[in-house]
Structure 1
Amino acid sequence: MELRRIIADYFTQREDVRVVGQAGNGVEALELLPRTQPDVLLTDIIMPQMDGYTMLEQLAHMDLERKPGVIVLTALGRDDFIMRAVQLGARYYMIKPFDFSTLYQRVVEVARTRPTLQEALMSPPPTPAESSRSADEKIASLFLTVGIPAHIKGYQFLREAVKLVMDQPEMINRITKELYPGIARKFSTSPSKVERAIRHAIEVAWSRGRVEVLNQVFGANVCSPDDKPTNGEFIALIADKMRVDRTA
C-alpha cells in the first residue's frame, strides 16, 4: 500500500501523466477500469482478494472500448512468473526495487500505443517513424523478458543490430565488416566496443538464468544454459522472431 501511494505521488507530480484511480486489490482494479478507462495499469502479482494473474485473465475478457496496457511491478523474479504474466498480456515486467525514471519511460511507451478500436480501424498505415518506434517497443519488451537490462550500453547496440538485421537479413553475414561499424558510426564509438558491449549484454541474460524463458518465447528449445550463443546467433534469433511477429 505504501509503494502504491509513493508511485501515485510520483506520477501526480508529472505534468504529462494523470493518475485516474488507485485500487488496493485486483477486484477493486477491475471495478475501476470501465469508469476510469486508463491507458496504463500498474499492478503487482501478490494482492488480496484477487492476485495479479487472475486479474489479467479477467481483464482479457472484459468488454472495454480500450483495454489498458499492463505493467507488472513485483518482487517475484522467477522465470515462470515472468513468462506467465507476459503470456497473459503484460507489456512489461519490472522487478522491485525499480528505478522510477525507467518506470516513467515504460508508462509513456505503453500509453502511446493504446489506440481505441475505432482509432485503429480508421487510422492510416503507420509511417516509417511509427513503425520504427513500434519495433523499438517490441524489442524492448523481448529484451526485458529474457533479462537484458536497459541501462547497459550493449542494450542500445543490440537493439540497433536487431533492427538492422530485421530489415536486411543478409547483413548478419557481414557482422564485422558492416553491422558493427554501422552501429559504431551511429553511436560515435568503435566497432570493437560495439562487439564487446553486445557480448556483455548476452552474458548478463545468461547469468540471470532466463534461458528457459527465451525458449518459451520462441516455443522451442533454441538455447541451453551451457550453450551461450555468439553475438551473431543471438542477433539473428531475435531478428527472426521479430520478422515472424511482424508478418503474423
Structure 2
Amino acid sequence: MENERIKVLIGDDSASNGVKVAAKLRESGMIAYTRRNNGRAILDSILNDKPDVVFADLTLPDTDALLLIKQVRESLVNVPAFIVVSEIDNSFIERQVLENGAAYFLAKPFDIESLPSIVKSVCRKTVQPSCTDTEILVTEVIQKLGVPAHIKGYHYLRTAILSAVENARLMECVTKQLYPSVAQKYDTTSSRVERAIRHAIEIAWDRGNAEMINDFFGYTADSYRGRPTNSEFIALVTDRIRLRLKTGSVPADYTTTI
C-alpha cells in the first residue's frame, strides 16, 4: 500500500542531480519527488506533503539546512529524517550537521547506488519485516545490537554484511575482498572502511544492547574476552542472517531471537 512506502523529498529539481536521485529511489519502491533548491519551497513541501525523509543541501539560496531543520522541529511533531548534502567533506562540518538534528551527512560526489540503503537506514517509518527482505533484516539486527545509524561505519557494516550474505567467498579474505567491495560502493578506501566498521562495533560493544550482544556472541560486553574483531562480528551476524532466511519465517520478536 502507498502509505506503507517511504516518501522522500529531494530539495533539488535539477535534471543533473535531483531528478536522477528521485529515479533511483523510485526503482527501490519508494515515493520520491523533487522541489526547488530553496528553503521556502522545501519547508512548504515538508509541511504539506509530510515526507519521511528529506534531502537538503547544507547551503540553500535563502537559508541553510540547519535552520530549516529547526523550523521543521518547531512546526511538526513527526519530523522527517534529514540527509544533508554538502560540497565539502569535512569532519567538523559533519559533526555540526549531525549535532543539529540531521540523520546523515552526505558529501558530494556520492554514489547514487548507495542512496536507497541510506534512506532505509535513516527512515523512522515502521516497515513490516519480511523473511525475504534481507536489507530490512540486516538493518534491524545491527540497530538492535546498538550500532548508531548516523555514523559512516553503520552503513559500511550494513553493506559488508549484505555483501557477505550474497557472496560467502568475500569472508575468505576480508581485507582484500570484502573491504574493497564496500569501499568501491562508497567511493572511499579500504582502510577507511575498516576503521569506520571497527569504530561502529566499539560503540555497539560499549553502549549497545547487552542482552542481545550476549545472545549473539555468547558472552557479556564486559567479559574478559573483549569485543569481537571486525571479521568475527561480520561473520557471526552474516551466519545468523543466512540461517534466519533459510527458516522461511520471521517471528514478531525476531530481532531479539535471531
Question: Do they fold alike, i.e. is TM over 0.5?
Answer: yes
Q: Distance in 2 between matches of 1:184 and 1:107?
A: 22
**Structure 1 residue 155: deviation in Å?**
4.4
The answer as to whether partners of 2:86 and 2:106 remain within 8 angstroms in 1 is yes
What is residue 99 of structure 1 aligned with on the other side? 111
Letter in 2 for 1:179: P
Aligned to 2:79: 67
What is the Cα deviation at residue 141 of structure 1? 1.6
Write the letter of the residue equivalent to 2:45.
Answer: L
SS at match of 2:150: helix
Per-residue deviation at 1:8? 2.0
Alignment of 1:47-126 (within 5 A): 47-64=60-77, 66-111=78-123, 113-114=124-125
Distance 1:22 1:163, change over 3 A: same
**Cα shift at 1:61:** 0.8
CA distance in 2, matches of 1:158, 1:82: 16
Match of 2:233 in 1: 183
Cα gap change, 1:169/1:22 in structure 2, threshold over 3 Å: closer, same or farther? same
1:184-238 CA distance string (max 9 Å, x none): 75279xxxxxxxxxxxxxxxxxxxxxxxxxxxxxxxxxxxxxxxxxxxxxxxxxx
CA apart distance, 1:154 = 5.2
Gaps of 5+ in 2: 1-13, 127-137, 158-178, 184-192, 211-219, 239-258
Query: Cα distance, 1:50 vs. partner?
Result: 1.9
Kept after mapping to 2: 8 A contact 1:45/1:53: yes
Runs of 4+ with >6 A deviation: 147-150
Match of 2:168 in 1: none
Q: Is the 8 A contact 2:122 2:149 kept in 1?
A: no
Residue of structure 1 in register with 2:44 after alignment:
31
SS of residue paired to 1:139: coil
**Alignment partner for residue 148 of structure 2, among 130, 139, 142?**
139
Distance 2:91 2:199 in 1: 22
Instruction: Specify which of 48, 51, 54 is matched with residue 41 of structure 1.
Output: 54
Report the AA paired with residue 90 of structure 2: R
Q: Which residue pairs with 1:227 in the alignment?
A: none
For structure 1, list consecutive stretches of 5 or more residues without a partner in the other structure. 116-128, 189-248
**AA of the residue aligned to 1:183:** F
1:170 is matched with: 222
Q: Which amino acid letter does the alignment assign opposite residue 57 of structure 1?
A: K
Count of residue correspondences:
169
1:43 is paired with a residue whose SS is strand
SS of alignment partner, residue 83 of structure 2:
strand
What's 1:6 paired with?
20
Contact kept, 8 Å, 1:23 with 1:29, in 2: the verdict is yes
TM-score of the aligned structures, taking structure 2 as reference length: 0.54
**Secondary structure of the residue that 2:68 maps to in structure 1?**
helix
SS at match of 1:179: coil
State the distance in 1 between where 2:195 and 2:90 align: 23
Separation in structure 1 between the aligned mates of residue 84 and residue 39 of structure 2, nearest angstrom: 13
CA RMSD of aligned residues (A): 3.6
